[in-house]
Chains A and B, each alone.
Chain A
């Protein structure tokens, strides 16, 4: 029963980490930069959705969609304010600039949304089914489903649509993509929009299981970075898979050894994994050129 419950919760958490980590992947693939404050994007998703659905009383689905749109807009802001001005000059200060923007976002939310954690309960999510002696809420089942659906959505978008293929082209060969008439800077901006959109989706999904407050994303963002790296940041499926592995490992450590060891052990495993596989579990080595 302990292990079953851990597996179920690990699956939900893992697919959330995977979604957040996909956000790191999409921007890294096209621009070799990431939003270091990805946790803030996740928090914004939950905060926007809560504000629209609860404060303004919108129905859940339009509220969630509008929240995702706002998250995408935030992604555009991140890229324009904190990444492009530095990446253009070959400076790595985007790293610090995205952190600064994250601090601003967290604190701005603290003063506008409020300092109290809020509970975001969804009527339909309250039901549950009994699996192996424990109640599994619909939500816990919905999270991996939605997470995998979104990952599959990304996959389909990139494989089946004109713009998706254009993004893949930028990832594989930016110069050749330009020769096809693809606007590469625009593609990078859109990648950032997609990145925060994924994070926002993770935030909206976790909110009913968790609660909504201004720094709810910090630790999640960091763990998601670990996941992205473990997955070898250059492969979308690798990243999603690494998310599930990380979530399950964490849940199993918590179940079998106690939560005090969870972070200690999971981060130690990250170091060991990277020492053995310097390009992540599913990443490919870059060919050394002279």
Chain B
């Protein structure tokens, strides 16, 4: 019982309200398989918040981050979102690593008129949710657009005619199946085959063998870093190495270590890479990350980089929106997003990133195609 009381007291003291701060909420997976991605978002937001606070905060008030673990399930996510909105009274809510969690949160924020910013989940309907007053903004990839880009890249780079899909059997994989099918049928093509695999599968040879038998000359891969590595290792065992065009999953960790010597065969999409020549913003952010997190010793330790980069830019844009609004009032902050004219960010220089018709700041022109060379994510073709 003593422990229980001590823990409760600890929990309560941690939530004690600091009157003068502006609270920024984050709902994401912080435990389990996606813990690393949740941590990346945390780091991107934290570095941005530190930078903003060092310059005196927003509207003269410091920003403060309140994080909640959604354990990657929508049911936990909506409770966490409500807690942050109604109990913590956050000004802006960040979050949603998984598309279903984000989709579950969307109706709540639209009803309560609090801005919800997505730094990760790529499901199309998150921002295109049909609400009359849409409070959802995103600084991340959009599956639909990524899927079109994947097809285009496969056709252009590998002259692929008959692509097969190898998709992890989870909501993300399923939404990409839809997106890829749409992209293919827009060009009147049929896939060589659609194969699913479980995130915990040790062996993907059977699925890949079927795709090979169907004459696939290129693979579309969607899966987190671990499962993606399982696909590459299985291909190795089969002795089959078709070109692989992938969503950003492999960037989520030490892909070379996991997938072995064939790792560079996977070309995947990124919104940002901390490798190679950096802009001044890139230098600044990497330096701040290395100073704040002792485990980051170089760009190779910033994984998944997209999470950090998206979250950093999203926080910066959000601060500008609040500044523009001159208030933390939800509807005014929403208007504030539309008023952002220009921001020199990490991913790119944003020019009018948001309009009432477009709540996605990142589009197909911002994707870079990359591959793992040793432990570095490098733009394709940078190193042979």
Contact = CB atoms under 8 A, between A and B. Distances in A.
Nearest to A254: B206
B364 interface: no
B381 interface: no
A91 to B, nearest CB: 19
Interface residues of A, number: 41
A259 B260 contact: no
Q: Which of B229, B233, B237 has the most CB of A within 10 A?
A: B237
A79 interface: no
Contacts of B259: 119
A137 B35 CA distance: 31
Given A251-B203, A255-B206, A115 B238 contact: no
B206 A2 contact: yes
Interface stretch (A19-27, A169-177, A213-221): A213-221
A5 B202 CA distance: 13
A134 B260 contact: no
A183 interface: no
A219 B200 contact: yes
Given A211-B226, A259-B198, A5 B206 contact: yes
Q: Which of B32, B197, B238 has the most CB of A within 10 A?
A: B32
B303 interface: yes
Contact of B206 (A119, A209, A251): A251
Contacts of B33: 213, 215
Q: Which of A117, A134, A206 has the most CB of B within 10 A?
A: A117
Interface string A109-129: 010001111110100001010
Contacts of B32: 110, 214-215
Identify whether the interface residues of B are mostly helix, strand, loop, or mixed. Answer: helix
B270 to A, nearest CB: 17
A135 B200 CA distance: 21
A116 B252 CA distance: 8
B202 A118 contact: no
Given A211-B226, A215-B33, A260 B202 contact: no
Interface string B194-237: 01111011110111011001000000000001100110010011
Contacts of B252: 116
A23 to B, nearest CB: 19
Given A2-B206, A135-B238, A211 B229 contact: yes
A121 B202 contact: no
B210 A2 contact: yes
B254 interface: yes
Contacts of A260: 169, 196
A128 B237 contact: yes
A107 interface: yes
A211 B258 CA distance: 7
A60 interface: no
Contacts of B226: 117, 211, 213
A13 B230 CA distance: 14
Interface in A1-20: 1-2, 5-6, 9, 12-13
B276 to A, nearest CB: 22
B260 A121 contact: yes
A92 interface: no
B196 A206 contact: no
B133 interface: no
B197 A119 contact: no
Contact of A119 (B39, B239, B260, B303): B260
A118 B169 contact: no
A136 interface: yes
A116 B303 contact: yes
B202 to A, nearest CB: 5
B257 interface: yes
A163 interface: no
B253 to A, nearest CB: 4
A9 B32 CA distance: 27
A48 to B, nearest CB: 18
Nearest to B206: A255
A263 interface: yes
A262 interface: yes
Interface in A238-268: 251, 254-255, 258-260, 262-263
B31 A5 contact: no
A117 B258 contact: yes
Contacts of A137: 237
Contact of B253 (A116, A259, A262): A116
Contact of B202 (A110, A209, A213, A215): A209
Contact of B200 (A118, A126, A220): A220
B332 interface: no
B254 A110 contact: no
B339 interface: no
Contacts of B202: 9, 12-13, 206, 209-210
A206 B39 CA distance: 27
A118 B258 contact: yes
A209 B202 CA distance: 7
Nearest to A10: B203
Given A6-B206, A251-B203, A259 B237 contact: no
B36 interface: yes
B356 to A, nearest CB: 38
Contacts of B207: 254, 258-259
Q: Which of A2, A6, A119, A128 has the most CB of B within 10 A?
A: A119
A9 B198 contact: no
B198 A263 contact: yes
Interface of B: 31-33, 35-36, 39, 169, 195-198, 200-203, 205-207, 209-210, 213, 225-226, 229-230, 233, 236-239, 252-254, 257-260, 303
Interface of A: 1-2, 5-6, 9, 12-13, 107, 110, 114-119, 121, 126, 128, 134-137, 140, 206, 209-211, 213-216, 219-220, 251, 254-255, 258-260, 262-263
The 10 A-B residue pairs whose C-beta atoms are closest, nearest first, are A119-B258, A115-B36, A255-B206, A9-B203, A119-B257, A115-B35, A117-B226, A116-B253, A5-B205, A219-B200
